Amino acid sequence: MNDLIQVSDRLQVFGNLESNVRSYCRSFPAKFKRASGHQLWDAEGRSYIDFFAGAGALNYGHNPPEMKKKLIKYLVEDGISHSLDMATEAKERFLTRFNDVILKPRGLNYKIMFPGPTGTNSVESALKLARKVTGRQTIMSFTNAFHGMTLGALAVTGNKFKRSGAGVPLNHTLSMPYDGYMGRDVNSIDYIESFLKDSGSGISLPAAVIVETLQGEGGINAASDEWLIGLANLCQTYGMLLIVDDVQMGCGRTGTFFSFEHCGIVPDLVCMSKSIGGYGLPMALTLMKPELDLWEPGEHNGTFRGNNLAFITAAAALDYWESQAFSHEIEEKAELVCNALVEIVASVPELKGEVKGKGLMQGIAFEAGIAEKISALAFERGLILETSGTDSEVIKIMPPLTIDRTGLVSGLQILKDCIFDIAVDVNLLVSHP
Amino acid sequence: MNDLIQVSDRLQVFGNLESNVRSYCRSFPAKFKRASGHQLWDAEGRSYIDFFAGAGALNYGHNPPEMKKKLIKYLVEDGISHSLDMATEAKERFLTRFNDVILKPRGLNYKIMFPGPTGTNSVESALKLARKVTGRQTIMSFTNAFHGMTLGALAVTGNKFKRSGAGVPLNHTLSMPYDGYMGRDVNSIDYIESFLKDSGSGISLPAAVIVETLQGEGGINAASDEWLIGLANLCQTYGMLLIVDDVQMGCGRTGTFFSFEHCGIVPDLVCMSKSIGGYGLPMALTLMKPELDLWEPGEHNGTFRGNNLAFITAAAALDYWESQAFSHEIEEKAELVCNALVEIVASVPELKGEVKGKGLMQGIAFEAGIAEKISALAFERGLILETSGTDSEVIKIMPPLTIDRTGLVSGLQILKDCIFDIAVDVNLLVSHP
Amino acid sequence: MNDLIQVSDRLQVFGNLESNVRSYCRSFPAKFKRASGHQLWDAEGRSYIDFFAGAGALNYGHNPPEMKKKLIKYLVEDGISHSLDMATEAKERFLTRFNDVILKPRGLNYKIMFPGPTGTNSVESALKLARKVTGRQTIMSFTNAFHGMTLGALAVTGNKFKRSGAGVPLNHTLSMPYDGYMGRDVNSIDYIESFLKDSGSGISLPAAVIVETLQGEGGINAASDEWLIGLANLCQTYGMLLIVDDVQMGCGRTGTFFSFEHCGIVPDLVCMSKSIGGYGLPMALTLMKPELDLWEPGEHNGTFRGNNLAFITAAAALDYWESQAFSHEIEEKAELVCNALVEIVASVPELKGEVKGKGLMQGIAFEAGIAEKISALAFERGLILETSGTDSEVIKIMPPLTIDRTGLVSGLQILKDCIFDIAVDVNLLVSHP
Amino acid sequence: MNDLIQVSDRLQVFGNLESNVRSYCRSFPAKFKRASGHQLWDAEGRSYIDFFAGAGALNYGHNPPEMKKKLIKYLVEDGISHSLDMATEAKERFLTRFNDVILKPRGLNYKIMFPGPTGTNSVESALKLARKVTGRQTIMSFTNAFHGMTLGALAVTGNKFKRSGAGVPLNHTLSMPYDGYMGRDVNSIDYIESFLKDSGSGISLPAAVIVETLQGEGGINAASDEWLIGLANLCQTYGMLLIVDDVQMGCGRTGTFFSFEHCGIVPDLVCMSKSIGGYGLPMALTLMKPELDLWEPGEHNGTFRGNNLAFITAAAALDYWESQAFSHEIEEKAELVCNALVEIVASVPELKGEVKGKGLMQGIAFEAGIAEKISALAFERGLILETSGTDSEVIKIMPPLTIDRTGLVSGLQILKDCIFDIAVDVNLLVSHP
């Protein structure tokens, strides 16, 4: 009771003035003040380990010093802050670095678009371009997909609660089963193809397919390489463009810069945002094969396409990708996480947990209700982690990629303790119904 | 020829790597490096007077020193940069200041939503909420309106070129004539009402009306107070919500903080972005009457709702609004601009210019082609100003509100010279066809 | 009370078994048994004068003897009754007669489509073809238009009550003001053109415009010749197809076979149904300029395109149109009706009636409530006439075109008496409130 | 060559005057004059056996004498021909007979709606009502479904060619796999349920499911009883209305009056047309459970809801259903057909035919091209049968239900001969490529 009052006191301004739509401040009821690396501190001086990483916007941790230094220098020197889509030195530097460090070494030849500073902006621009290039209207998306909150992106998002917020029918889209949706034995690619090749299936040939290689919001569902390759082939066969939404899975989250690198497919369009800005600053990219760049000047525009502070930190963030070292580091941490999760799940079989995910986007799926309890308890003990899935059934481990071994182990230990304590409660409940 | 090569050299990286969709870098072909107040400098050291102000995102000028100082301090102290919609000290300070400095003194009682950091995000959220609250789907918008590029906002935007970029039909909207659209003698409110009250008019009762009090992109068309009051009454009579899109006209552009203050209407929802962040950083607000705040937690979300660097500068920017002084200052400058434009138009009657607008959003409408020539010539002479209107027929004067008298007079002198020189060309053309 | 019981007894089977959607049997609560010319008889032997003519499907009266004879002969000889769209002698004869009697003499060169046997089918086919030919999606329609109940036709219908029955948003249409809608002084063609020529008006260029030359259901609103010619010119200028829905106004209702003959326009597409079958049998045509006949075989189909019994009577009905005599006859009757209505209106100025319409589609507009009372009282006295307008505010005089002078005069006398009696009631009400 | 000229001569009027959309007159290039029972005669006196039955509109054969007699009597006595939805004796008789002969004995309690005289009208009305009753918009339909050509019905039709004729996106629908679509081993009901119960599947809960128990146009695909029962259960569980489109399969086509009788489900809504009129006259019904009859009077209307000539023959046709005898007769003929088809298929294994269907809606599926050749050859030899399936891959045997044994055997013999002759050609082709 005392605690509740304190919380409500602490967050009174938000309760009074901010719309009811606010959400994370309800799960994590602290007022944060300062952050560095994988740690945050609230106004009362309490520290927290961050296994949430700004929902993927803070892959390089909070306020990484090398970027911070460059950012302050740029501010001090009165570098351009806001430039619409005018040319600036900061933008030129980012473009050059992105091409040299990311695109060229991977043999990728993409034109780069700045579609507005958010993921949903990038998705909207990709859908527009796909429709323009093909002259078709339907976009195929997948069950449990998450692509954004503006009307075009929402129409390819699976979540019923979010969709109903639209207030209008969400059309011109086709929701198809993601890998594994029809059970592990059924290949949903075959099923999708039957709809495409059949002239009586009641659907229109899509302009494009939009897909996440791993569904972070939708329950940490990873598509297999075979499935992704099958999907890319389907796109080729039927003349649909392949759009990979790498907003959350890009920038190294799954181990490589792009999440699709390891399986060898080359999407026609790629959506990037979140950690692309490096420092958590709003920025987004849409990558497109040059032959698809049929935009007219200004056909898609926006005020904040030129967030030059983000260009500075984004360019600096690319330093991580100069060599393979960062990827190897992520993989090692990913293995550590995976082993820990497998061990936890094995230790509390009564919770029937299932380890999911890859890279530093992993989690454990439980029955409804458990994951939310874990998240709440962990927060009380100084660990921030979110749930995932439309029923919040998955506890999600998504630390900054730069987290050190100590931080990672500490966080996992808190998680383990919480799960064990909750298992005790569940067991008590079971034995004394 | 030499010049062309130089331009293309200078911007080669952009031409090679950036999508064809880029636009302002074509009208203003320089590579900018540094900026302060109302001035920019390019990489070659040339200076420019800014009569464009980041399309309204830089009402307080480039890198205003007082905000810059606070921003650097916050960075140095490792303040939270990115926070989704978690509570932070920076956000609390902004909320409190916005309430104390803006809302309370104006007797406004709005709940504040952070809908994602761009104007189009704010518009999308307002449309969603209006549809949810009323259970209706249609939104009434106006000829020549501009509200954004994502699918929901684009559907209420008038511009045909932008609309066709959608690639799908833009539905659930109703485009009605803006003030003056049917000629100065016809009251378009009466016409609109005939559609609303008539059970045979073929339209559905809209959930809401979205309107700009002055159409900045659509040709600098200012609605009269009578018309806006008539529209607000119509909304009341027919149970439609009134949404004012103050993304460009808010934050003092027309003289008062909100553009609708002087006419006494109180919108149900207000969309803000652009200069709300103070320093040109991506940020947006949606204001709503408390009784309309029927959002479920998380029903609309987004990664960059918590751009804390913007909260720091946004809170600092509100210092300008502590007294009436800033408003008076804007009005004085507005008068200076207006007088200058009227004089210019009178001096070159052969160009048939028409002065439009109010506050520091003014312009001259010409026949097609003229305004673009003026903009190009002015840029060569070190003045940045944009055109407006679907046929780019209006030359737009939109300096930072903080521009000093010297800067303003210098810019207007360049503008005047350009117009005179172009008038000479036009006259020559007329006399020697 | 006794009467009510009798009515409910009489129509008990309908009340028990038929859906609540039934309507005319509520306004005209008799069980009809037999009909001939302009008269019907109910099961109890009561006779009624028909000023309703099957809502325009019985322009030649009930069971015209010459058609009846041919129909029975055809049945006796086992002529084909149903033929999908296979070739039959009956169909060939109709096609030939329609070309020889109707099209050729009017210099019209239309291809003929049998779109299914109802008006709404014809409208749906015309909209499909217009969209196919132009590659555009929007159809412009008018306030108070009525075009049918299936989803495509409903979307161009103005009536709010009918529209809301759709249960889904009705899109891809644009409702514009009909002639006179903005007041007699405002030319709505100019207003419409401003939307078409302005690249910022927020609408898409329509594929076609669908119009009734006189709105029969929407309140008996007749468009002027100037307005129709202006509309046709607008279509030409902007490359929109002109569709005239002559379902109710065709087949002589306004004096000429097609309602648009007198003003000299040549629509791109014409929709016909109702009286085209001659005997009240379901049949419809869609006429199109030959260069628009881009249909693929079977692209629009339907089971009852080949209603051969209707072809027999439809061909016979064309005999009426061999000379100008029938048109002259209609005009004379129209004048008689008009004079009578004008006189009635003048005699009861307190009812503020307004005579509307032309040909044998005329009526008097009253304040809400009056027309329905007139219709009910008239029915009690043996005269069937319907109301029109979305608020049922117009009493509609629409007898068979073949009605003789005696029938016409008798019906008008009943109407006059009813109106006078209702005026007395209204006066009493006014004097003794 | 000579033949071609003759055909084109014979059908010259149609080629000159009728739209290109005409189709069956191309497959069956004769000009028909007379018909009786299962036979037609063309203008040149040639006779044809009818295995097409007006696409299901002539289940009782051409011009059945008992109905013809009643129809002529009614005409002679000047019975009402056209009545909108006013009450007539003919309509009352039909309603009473339909209730007594069809509904009551089957324990069905439906309210009856006359939605306009075609199948597509009935479907449109059912979709409207389902949306109104549930307040939801989406309708679930199935791959290869056929429901009609107007915009609402077309949106639930699977055929790509027909759909693209709409010229606008067909929305508010959800196409799901019909029984067997995912292979005989996969239960598509489970798959559909996974979309319904999952809050992340990207679809909205449908207002209703519309289904044919056997897809006649879509390739003669019969749903199993288990599947239909599973579907009905799904509807119950998720609160979706079940609409059975019995336009083609009703009136005895599969052996019972309603096609769903044998599996024991009771749809919420039933669409009927085609043979309901008995004599091939345009007529349609929509049946609804009384608690769903939430129509407002006149909310759906139409000119030809009261085709009284059809009511006369429709009531007479119900005499066939007074006892079980007619059903038994159909079953016997169905068995005869089935045996013949099985034998044919077995005799020409090289054609890889597959017998499909039930009742007197049977067919053989071949590889593409074969069925069309069979249909063309059979027509030359005096047998009319159509193909089915989106690639016209199925030859369809659909005689009048009243065909006598001699007619049936003769027709099957012609069919057999044609198939054998075509097999010879194919074999020759194979051996001498």
Q: Are B172 and B138 in contact (CB under 8 A)?
A: yes
Mean predicted lDDT score pLDDT of chain A: 95
Residue D290: DSSP 8-state: G
Average pLDDT over residues D241-261: 98
pLDDT at A160 over 80: yes
Q: The pTM is what?
A: 0.96
Digit-coded pLDDT (tens) for A321-367: 999 999 999 999 999 999 999 999 999 999 999 999 999 999 999 99
Question: By C-alpha distance, which of A172, A169, A179 is closest to A142?
Answer: A179
Residue D387, pLDDT score: 96
Residues of chain B contacting C135 with CB distance shorter than 8 Å: none
CA proximity to B244, closest of B225, B265, B230, B262: B265
Q: DSSP for C57-78? A: T-TT-BS-HHHHHHHHHHHHTT
| Chain D residues in contact with B169 (beta carbon < 8 A) | 168-169
CA distance A212 to A358: 13
Per-residue DSSP letter, A389: S
Task: Let me know: does C94 contact C88? Beta carbons within 8 Å.
Answer: no
CATH superfamily of A2-63+324-425: Aspartate Aminotransferase, domain 1 (3.90.1150.10)
B389 interfaces chain C, CB cutoff of 8 Å? yes
Complex ipTM tops 0.95: yes
pLDDT per residue as tens digits for the range C420-431: 999 998 777 666
Q: Do B301 and A128 touch (CB under 8 A)?
A: no
Instruction: Say which range, B333-347, C176-190, D216-230, has the weakest mean pLDDT.
Output: C176-190
Contact of C371 with C397, CB cutoff 8 Å = no
Instruction: State mean pLDDT over B325-330.
Output: 98
Report chain B residues whose CB lies below 8 A from the CB of D168: 169
Cβ-nearest to D58 among C26, C82, C137 = C82
Taking a contact as any Cβ pair under 8 Å apart, which residues of chain A between 112 and 151 contact chain C?
none
Look at D202 and A156 and tell me if their CB atoms are within 8 Å.
yes
Pairs across C and D, CB distance < 8 A: 362
- Asked if A201 lies within 8 A of D169 by C-beta distance, the reply is no
| CA closest to A307 among chain B residues | B281
* 8 Å CB contact between D174 and D183: no
What fold does the segment set A66-321 form as a domain?
Answer: Aspartate Aminotransferase; domain 2 (3.40.640)
Band (B184; pLDDT cuts 50, 70, 90): confident
Q: Which chains touch C (3 or more CB pairs under 8 A)?
A: A, B, D
A contacts of B297 (beta carbons < 8 Å): 20-23, 26
**What residues of A are in contact with residue D218 (Cβ under 8 Å)?**
200
Shortest CA gap C126–chain B (Å)? 19
C-beta separation of B159 from C204 below 8 A: no
Q: Does residue B327 contact residue B401 with C-beta atoms inside 8 Å? A: no
Pick from C9, C56, C8, C41: nearest CA to C259: C56
Phi, psi of C327 (to 5 degrees): -60, -45
With the C-alpha atoms ordered D49, D51, D52, D54, is the resulting torsion angle positive or negative? Answer: positive
**8 Å CB contact of A95 and B273:** no
Chain D (316-375) residues lying within 8 Å, Cβ to Cβ, of chain C = none
- Asked if residue B363 has pLDDT above 50, the reply is yes
Count of alpha carbons within 13 angstroms of residue B414, beta-carbon side: 22
Which whole number is the average pLDDT over D123-136? 98
Q: Hey, is the C-beta of D280 within 8 angstroms of any chain A C-beta?
A: no
A141, A144, A200 ranked by CB distance to D144: nearest? A200
DSSP code of C102? I
Chain D, nearest residue to A181 by Cα: D194
Query: Which of B20, B71, B131 minimises the CB distance to A167?
Result: B131
Tokens encoding C143: 């306030």
pLDDT at A183 (0 to 100):
86
Best to test chain C binding among D86, D98, D160 (most C CBs inside 10 Å): D86
D83 φ, ψ (degrees, to nearest 5): -140, 20
Nearest to D299 among C21, C58, C280 (CB): C21
pLDDT surpasses 70 at B2: no
pLDDT in tens, B93-109: 999 999 999 999 999 99
Q: Can you give the C-alpha Rg of chain A in angstroms?
A: 22
- C304 vs D19, D25, D118: nearest CB: D118
Q: What is the pLDDT of residue C7?
A: 66
For testing contact with chain C, the best of D14, D22, D72, D272 (most C CBs within 10 A)? D22
Each residue's pLDDT expressed in tens, for chain C with a length of 433 residues: 445 556 668 899 999 999 999 999 999 999 999 999 999 999 999 999 999 999 999 999 999 999 999 999 999 999 999 999 999 999 999 999 999 999 999 999 999 999 999 999 999 999 999 999 999 999 999 999 999 999 999 999 999 999 999 999 999 999 999 999 988 888 899 999 999 999 999 999 999 999 999 999 999 999 999 999 999 999 999 999 999 999 999 999 999 999 999 999 999 999 999 999 999 999 999 999 999 999 999 999 999 999 999 999 999 999 999 999 999 999 999 999 999 999 999 999 999 999 999 999 999 999 989 999 999 999 999 999 999 998 999 999 999 999 999 999 999 999 999 999 999 987 776 665 4
Mean pLDDT of B363-384: 97
Q: Are D386 and D155 in contact (CB under 8 A)?
A: no
- C240-271: burial string, b at 16+ Cβ within 10 Å, e else: bbbbbbbbbbbbbbbbbbbbbbeeebbbbbbb
pLDDT reading at D290 higher than 70:
yes
pLDDT digits (tens, 9 = 90+) for A5-22: 566 688 999 999 999 999
pLDDT over 70 (residue D4): no
Residue B1 has what pLDDT? Answer: 40
Domain boundaries, chain D: 2-63+324-425, 66-321
Amino acid at A172: H
State whether D201 and A137 contact (CB < 8 Å).
Answer: no
Enumerate neighbours of D (3 or more CB pairs within 8 A).
A, B, C
Q: In this predicted model, what pLDDT tens digit does every residue of A165-224 receive, in sequence order?
A: 999 999 999 999 999 998 888 889 999 999 999 999 999 999 999 999 999 999 999 999
Res D431: pLDDT: 63
Residue of D nearest to A155 (CA): D202
